[in-house]
């Protein structure tokens, strides 16, 4: 299916799926990927079908198609569409054009005024309808979980220079976050999403002002911070780093609850590791200290958010499918592309691990990223449990 941002193909599994009352609503909410692509194609098909039907009807009746009213896809209402209810719309019209007569010996005689009925149907359901234009401007459904992504965070960094939260402060904050419930994490992240939408548009008076002051005094947000240390120390220039830490803890919580932490990510980045590759991952991180393992997980999480989870135009000349490329090569160069003003120093132990990720035999590709991250996170969780 061709769209305003490129050409998309529906997964064969979706094409064969039966739609019934138990089908997820996501199949009917138009997006450019996964099950939502089914909803988009269905919507576009129905809109094109109306235009085609009106065109055929105009040719049949000798009416100029250009004489029909036009409506942009963004301005459509029910009044513009060819639609009717059999009982509420058609039946009263049929009855109004039905004549009953009774003759002795012949019973009731029913006659219909088909000419008048045809004229009323054309006037009410066809000539009053609009030809739909700008079909490439169908609005896509945005899930709440997708509200803040790499594109939004990069817009924030362009508006306000971003720096990382100092390591000592981050250790204290993460310790507090790990004690939070999952609903509290989600609520805090939702509030931060709202703050980011304002910050990337208007910016603060001073990037070094506390983010908590902006959220409570300017946005009137109640209890915006789940961590007391974060509330006392995080500035507007550290917003992206704070979002990454919150989102990372939420992703870890989802994994603990056997849920998908990266729901909506393209399927080509969810390739499972083979048994041989899983063994290699276990060997790579079994001796890496907890702190470095945690830092590696954070680096990979940023890679997923800022590099992978960004919609690209597949029809563009600059488009490159990186899913089959070496994960090691992309991770080695990724720290230098992070949108932070301060230098990102990668621990020498992590660099050593990166260099040992297979790039030839048993190659681990960018397509394995999600399963790779899950595996390392499980290793970290086991190490932390053993320490306790």
* Residue 235 burial (C-beta neighbours within 10 Å; 0-12, 13-18, 19+): buried
Mean pLDDT confidence for 154-165: 92
pLDDT digits (tens, 9 = 90+) for 16-39: 788 888 888 888 888 877 788 888
Same domain, 232 and 308: no
Tokens (6 digits) for 104: 């002795």
Residues in the chain: 388
Q: Examine residue 31 and state whether it is found in any structural domain, yes or no.
A: no
Does residue 322 surpass a pLDDT of 80?
Answer: yes
Q: How many CB atoms lie within 10 A of CB 219?
A: 14
Q: Examine residue 192 and state whether it is found in any structural domain, yes or no.
A: yes
Which has the minimum average pLDDT: 5-14, 57-66, 348-357, 371-380?
5-14
Same domain, 381 and 316: yes
Which residue(s) pair with 7 in the sheet? 2
| Residue that terminates a domain, selected from 235, 261, 287 | 261
* Domain ranges, residue 268: 264-388
Is the Cβ–Cβ distance between 312 and 151 less than 8 Å? no
DSSP-assigned letters across all residues of 303-329: HIIIIISS---TTSTT----TTSBHHH
Same domain, 268 and 387: yes
The CA distance from 38 to 191, in Å, is: 31
Q: What is the DSSP letter of 137?
A: G
pLDDT at 24: 83
Mean pLDDT confidence for 364-369: 94
Tokens (6 digits) for 49: 């079908």
Containing 70, the helix (H) or strand (E) segment is: strand 70-72
Is the Cβ–Cβ distance between 235 and 210 less than 8 Å? yes
Same domain, 253 and 313: no
Pick the more confident residue, 318 or 357. Answer: 357
pLDDT at 345: 64
Same domain, 185 and 150: yes
Does residue 145 surpass a pLDDT of 60?
Answer: no
Tokens (6 digits) for 267: 């399927």
Mean pLDDT confidence for 350-369: 87
CA 295 to chain centre: 26
Does residue 323 surpass a pLDDT of 80?
Answer: yes
Same domain, 253 and 287: no
Mean pLDDT confidence for 132-151: 75
pLDDT at 39: 87
Alpha helices, H only, 160-272: 167-177, 182-202, 211-213, 228-233, 239-256
| Residue that terminates a domain, selected from 243, 261, 279 | 261
Q: Examine residue 271 and state whether it is found in any structural domain, yes or no.
A: yes
Same domain, 243 and 152: yes
Is the Cβ–Cβ distance between 274 and 362 less than 8 Å? yes
pLDDT digits (tens, 9 = 90+) for 96-140: 988 888 777 777 888 889 999 989 988 888 888 899 998 888 888
The CA distance from 148 to 192, in Å, is: 9
Average pLDDT of the chain?
A: 87
Same domain, 270 and 224: no
Same domain, 203 and 238: yes
Strands 70-72 and 131-133 come out as parallel
The CA distance from 137 to 215, in Å, is: 34
In a 13 Å sphere around the CA of 165, the CA atoms on its Cβ side amount to: 26
Q: Examine residue 139 and state whether it is found in any structural domain, yes or no.
A: no
| Residue that terminates a domain, selected from 226, 261, 296 | 261
Strands 131-133 and 2-3 come out as unpaired
Is the Cβ–Cβ distance between 117 and 91 less than 8 Å? no
Q: Examine residue 109 and state whether it is found in any structural domain, yes or no.
A: no
In a 13 Å sphere around the CA of 227, the CA atoms on its Cβ side amount to: 25
Q: How many distinct structural domains can be found in the chain? A: 2
Same domain, 238 and 298: no
Does residue 11 surpass a pLDDT of 80?
Answer: no
* Residue 264 burial (C-beta neighbours within 10 Å; 0-12, 13-18, 19+): middle
Does residue 1 surpass a pLDDT of 70?
Answer: no
Does residue 271 surpass a pLDDT of 90?
Answer: yes
Does residue 384 surpass a pLDDT of 90?
Answer: no
pLDDT digits (tens, 9 = 90+) for 285-317: 988 889 889 999 999 999 999 988 876 656 666
Q: Examine residue 326 and state whether it is found in any structural domain, yes or no.
A: yes
Same domain, 200 and 310: no
Q: Examine residue 76 and state whether it is found in any structural domain, yes or no.
A: no
Same domain, 322 and 369: yes
């Amino acid at each position: 299916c061709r769209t305003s941002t490129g050409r998309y193909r529906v997964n064969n599994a979706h094409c064969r799926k039966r739609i019934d009352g138990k089908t997820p609503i996501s199949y009917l909410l138009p997006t450019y990927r996964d099950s939502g692509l089914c909803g988009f194609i269905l919507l576009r098909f129905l809109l094109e079908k109306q235009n085609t039907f009106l065109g055929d009807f105009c040719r049949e009746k000798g009416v100029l198609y250009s004489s029909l009213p036009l409506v942009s896809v963004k301005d459509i209402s029910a009044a513009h569409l060819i639609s009717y209810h059999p009982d509420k719309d058609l039946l009263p019209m049929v009855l109004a054009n039905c004549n009953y007569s009774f003759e002795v010996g012949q019973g009731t005689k029913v006659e219909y005024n088909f000419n008048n009925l045809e004229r009323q149907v054309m006037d009410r359901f066809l000539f009053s309808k609009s030809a739909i234009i700008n079909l490439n401007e169908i609005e896509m459904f945005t899930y709440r979980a997708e509200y803040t992504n790499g594109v939004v965070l990069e817009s924030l960094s362009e508006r306000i220079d971003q720096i990382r939260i100092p390591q000592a402060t981050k250790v204290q904050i993460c310790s507090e976050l790990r004690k939070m419930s999952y609903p509290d994490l989600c609520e805090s992240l939702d509030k931060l999403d709202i703050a980011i939408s304002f910050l990337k548009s208007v910016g603060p008076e001073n990037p070094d002002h506390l983010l908590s002051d902006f959220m409570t005094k300017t946005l009137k947000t109640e209890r915006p911070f789940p961590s007391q240390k974060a509330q006392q120390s995080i500035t507007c220039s550290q917003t992206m780093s704070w979002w990454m830490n919150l989102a990372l803890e939420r992703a870890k919580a989802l994994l603990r609850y056997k849920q998908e932490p990266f729901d909506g990510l393209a399927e080509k980045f969810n390739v499972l590791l083979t048994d041989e590759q899983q063994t290699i991952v276990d060997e790579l991180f079994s001796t890496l200290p907890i702190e470095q393992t945690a830092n590696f997980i954070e680096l990979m999480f940023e890679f997923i958010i800022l590099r992978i989870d960004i919609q690209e135009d597949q029809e563009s000349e600059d488009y490159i499918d990186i899913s089959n490329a070496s994960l090691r090569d992309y991770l080695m160069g990724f720290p230098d592309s992070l949108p932070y003003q301060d230098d990102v120093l990668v621990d020498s132990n992590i660099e050593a691990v990166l260099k040992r990720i297979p790039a030839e035999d048993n190659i681990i590709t960018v397509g394995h990223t999600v399963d790779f991250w899950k595996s390392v996170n499980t290793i970290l969780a086991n190490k932390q449990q053993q320490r306790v």
